[in-house]
Amino acid sequence: MAELSLGLGIGALVVLIAVLAVRASVRLGLPSLLLYLGIGLLLGEAGFGILFSDARLTQYLGIAALVVILAEGGLTTRWRNVRPALGLGIAMSTVAVAVSIGVTATGLHYLLDLEWRTALLWGAVVSSTDAAAVFSVLRGLGVHRRISGTLELESGLNDAPVYIAVVLLASPDPISWWTPALVVYELAVGAVVGIALGWIGGQALRRAALPATGLYPLATVAVCVLAYSAGQELHASGLLATYVAGLVLGNAKLPHRGDTLSFAEGLGWLAQIGLFVLLGLYASPGRLPSVIIPALITGAVLVLVARPLSVLASALPFRVPWREQVFLSWSGLRGAVPIVLALIPVTQEVPGAQQLIDVVFVLVVVLTLVQGTTLPLMARLLGLVRRGEPQEIEVDSAPLDELGAELLQVRVPEGSKLHGVYLSELRLPVGATVSLVVREKAGFTPQPTTRVQVGDQLLIVATEEVRADAERRIRSIDRAGRYARWKGESGE
- Indicate the residue among 387, 415, 444 that finishes a domain: 387
Considering the domain architecture, whether residues 160 and 258 belong to the same structural domain is answered as: yes
Q: Is 486 within a domain?
A: no
Considering the domain architecture, whether residues 377 and 411 belong to the same structural domain is answered as: no
Q: CB of 298 within 8 A of CB of 104?
A: yes
Number of domains the chain contains: 2
Residue 135 Cα distances to 26, 58, 307, 331, 445, angstroms: 11, 25, 18, 10, 35
Considering the domain architecture, whether residues 338 and 465 belong to the same structural domain is answered as: no
Considering the domain architecture, whether residues 218 and 97 belong to the same structural domain is answered as: yes
Q: Is 487 within a domain?
A: no
Considering the domain architecture, whether residues 130 and 204 belong to the same structural domain is answered as: yes
Q: Which residue type is seen at 143?
A: V
Distance (Å, whole) CA 156 – CA 137: 16
- Report which of 53, 80, 121 is spatially closest to residue 351, judged by C-alpha positions: 121
Q: CB of 82 within 8 A of CB of 153?
A: yes
Q: Is 341 within a domain?
A: yes
Number of neighbours of residue 347 by Cβ within 10 angstroms: 16
Considering the domain architecture, whether residues 428 and 342 belong to the same structural domain is answered as: no
- Indicate the residue among 387, 402, 436 that finishes a domain: 387
CATH number of the domain that residue 463 is part of? 3.30.70.1450
Q: Is 491 within a domain?
A: no
Q: Is 258 within a domain?
A: yes
Helix (H) or strand (E) holding 463: strand 457-463
Q: What is the pLDDT of residue 171?
A: 83
Considering the domain architecture, whether residues 321 and 436 belong to the same structural domain is answered as: no
CATH number of the domain that residue 102 is part of? 1.20.1530.20
Considering the domain architecture, whether residues 288 and 426 belong to the same structural domain is answered as: no
Residue 92 Cα distances to 86, 104, 161, 223, angstroms: 10, 16, 11, 27
Strand partners, 461: 407, 433
Q: Is 489 within a domain?
A: no
Q: Taking CA 242 as the corner, what is the angle to CA 228 and CA 255, rounded to the nearest 5 degrees?
A: 115
Q: Kindly report, residue by residue over 308-355, the tens digit of the pLDDT.
A: 999 999 998 888 889 989 999 998 878 778 888 888 998 888 888 888
Q: Which residue type is seen at 254?
A: L
- Residue pLDDT tens, the chain, 492 long: 667 777 677 778 767 776 776 666 656 555 677 778 878 888 877 677 777 778 888 888 888 988 998 898 888 888 877 888 888 989 998 899 999 999 999 999 999 999 999 999 999 999 888 766 665 556 556 677 778 788 888 888 888 888 888 888 888 777 776 777 888 888 899 999 999 999 998 888 888 777 777 788 888 999 999 999 999 999 888 889 999 999 999 888 777 777 788 888 888 888 888 888 888 888 888 888 889 999 999 999 999 999 999 999 999 888 888 998 999 999 887 877 888 888 899 888 888 888 888 898 899 888 888 887 788 788 888 887 754 333 445 455 555 555 667 778 888 888 888 888 888 888 888 888 888 888 888 888 888 888 888 888 888 888 878 888 888 888 888 888 888 777 777 767
Taking the CA atoms of 185, 189, 191 and 192 in sequence, report the sign of the dihedral they define. Answer: positive
Distance (Å, whole) CA 438 – CA 440: 7
- Indicate the residue among 355, 387, 419 that finishes a domain: 387
Looking only at the bridges linking them, the beta strands covering 442-444 and 394-400 are unpaired
Q: CB of 288 within 8 A of CB of 362?
A: yes
Considering the domain architecture, whether residues 194 and 97 belong to the same structural domain is answered as: yes
Q: Is 223 within a domain?
A: yes
Considering the domain architecture, whether residues 434 and 358 belong to the same structural domain is answered as: no
Q: What is the pLDDT of residue 25?
A: 63
253-270 burial, b if ≥16 CB within 10 A, otherwise e? ebbbbbbbbebbeebbbb
Q: CB of 205 within 8 A of CB of 260?
A: no
Q: Tell me 212's DSSP state.
A: S
Q: CB of 132 within 8 A of CB of 368?
A: no
Name the packing angle between helices 179-207 and 215-233 (round to 10°): 160
Long-range contacts at 109-118 (CB < 8 A, ≥ 24 apart): 111/297, 111/301, 112/294, 112/297, 112/298, 117/169, 118/350, 118/351, 118/352
Q: Taking CA 419 as the corner, what is the angle to CA 413 and CA 420, rounded to the nearest 5 degrees?
A: 165
Q: Is 321 within a domain?
A: yes
Considering the domain architecture, whether residues 244 and 216 belong to the same structural domain is answered as: yes
Print the domain residue range for 429: 393-480
Q: Kindly report, residue by residue over 32-43, the tens digit of the pLDDT.
A: 777 788 788 888
Considering the domain architecture, whether residues 327 and 437 belong to the same structural domain is answered as: no
Q: What is the pLDDT of residue 377?
A: 83
